[in-house]
Structure 1
Amino acid sequence: MASEKLLDVDPLLERLQQFADARDWQRFHTPKNLVLALTGEVGELAEIFQWKTDAEAVALHQNPAEFEHLGEEIADVLLYLVRLAQVSGIDLEHAVADKLLKNAKKYPAA
């Protein structure tokens, strides 16, 4: 499992860096600011599900506009999370693989 590639975020990391550089946003993309932005986006994601029953939440795909909005908010969360890892120097491939191994040990299937 150690040699299995779980993520290939390098192209995304490059695009995010280019996006920030083109707008001179690097100075604003501190870990603290990115966590706060990420928190806001998670709030927007949660708002989609607020007050819905479990059945309504599962059926979101039946409403194209709402389903598109869900995808946009999930993307926002992912982008801020990847950018946070980038500016913090976290190797996501390693961190994810390591965490999966730790979870497997902590929560064995048997």
Structure 2
Amino acid sequence: MTHDDLLKQLLAFRDARDWQQFHTLRNLIVSTTIEAGELLETVQWKTDADIDAMLRDPAQRRNVEHECADVLLYLMLVAHTAGFDLLDAAAEKLKLNGERYPVDKAKGVSTKYSRL
């Protein structure tokens, strides 16, 4: 499935339920943050080993997948409502991050770009 196909399905889902009236940019951004919090909750208080084990359980893995999908869907709605292409924005940001974190300075370290 392409990004455009998924966006069309998402907008059709929204429109069939007459939810666009609730989808102000502010509300969509708030909802994205709430969904990201729900994703975070899936790993709260867990060690890396606990998370690895959790992902081997099909039901728990599916829950993580669904929480990731919720974040993605809201991000798509944010971008659509704000009038930009999310994939273009992500590609631009990745390029910027490449400039901020050159391999020769950033490889193997977690230092913020402003301190490299």
TM-score normalised by the chain length of structure 2: 0.82
- What displacement does 1:101 show? 1.1
Partner of 1:99: 93
The structure with higher relative contact order (CA 8 Å, sep 6+) is: 1
- What displacement does 1:42 show? 1.0
Partner of 2:83: 89
- What displacement does 1:30 show? 0.8
Q: Distance in 2 between matches of 1:39 and 1:75?
A: 13
What letter is aligned with 1:33?
Answer: N
Unaligned runs of 5+ in 1: 1-7
Pairing of 1:1-110 with structure 2 (within 5 A): 8-110=2-104
What letter is aligned with 1:80?
Answer: Y
Q: Distance in 2 between matches of 1:10 and 1:96?
A: 15
Partner of 1:3: none
Q: Spell out, residue by residue over 1:64-90, the C-alpha distance to the aligned partner (whole angstroms, 9 max, x if none).
A: 211111111111111111111111111
- What displacement does 1:96 show? 1.4
- What displacement does 1:104 show? 0.6
What letter is aligned with 1:53?
Answer: T
Specify the SS of the correspondent of 1:49. coil
What letter is aligned with 2:90?
Answer: V
Calculate the aligned-residue CA RMSD, in Å: 1.2
Q: Distance in 1 between matches of 2:51 and 2:29?
A: 26
What letter is aligned with 1:85?
Answer: A
